[in-house]
């Protein structure tokens, strides 16, 4: 008889209970605490399946001012590579150091 009472007191969990409340466990398997940053700068912590520290949501550039939009679009473009030309005069004389070679 006491077994029936204990079984009735156990919480009935099914597939619908997770939509109403949070999962009742201390460790969430295969998830990592990650900081989510919204476009307005607000942050909150989520559980993410990959180990990342911060996830930032993309900003709609059409809501920015003209100067900010131009700055962000310039940052997206690839940087131009600077060509460096070496104009070294080669006045090295190897015969000058022949006396230091051992035979």
C-alpha to C-alpha distance for 80 and 22, rounded to whole angstroms: 50
- In this predicted model, what pLDDT tens digit does every residue of 72-103 receive, in sequence order? 899 989 988 888 887 777 788 888 888 888 76
* CB 32 within 8 Å of CB 13: no
Contact 69, 60 (CB under 8 A): no
In tens, the pLDDT along 7-45 reads 555 666 666 655 566 666 676 678 889 999 998 889 999
pLDDT at 28: 62
pTM of the predicted model as reported, rounded to 2 decimal places: 0.41
Q: How far is CA 100 from CA 45, 62, 92, 93, 95, in A?
A: 69, 71, 16, 14, 10
Residue 47 pairs in a beta bridge with 33
What residue ranges in the chain does DSSP mark as E strands? 32-37, 43-48, 54-56
Indicate whether 58 pLDDT > 80: yes
Question: Where do the domains of the chain lie?
Answer: 23-77
């Amino acid at each position: 008889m006491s077994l029936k009472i204990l079984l009735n007191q156990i919480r009935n969990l099914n597939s619908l209970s997770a939509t109403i409340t949070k999962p009742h466990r201390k460790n969430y398997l295969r998830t990592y605490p990650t900081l989510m940053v919204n476009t307005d700068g607000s942050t909150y912590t989520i559980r993410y399946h990959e180990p990342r520290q911060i996830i930032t949501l993309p900003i709609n550039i059409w809501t920015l001012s003209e100067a900010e939009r131009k700055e962000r679009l310039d940052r997206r473009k690839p940087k131009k590579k600077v060509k460096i030309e070496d104009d070294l005069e080669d006045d090295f004389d190897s015969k000058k150091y022949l006396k230091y070679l051992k035979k």
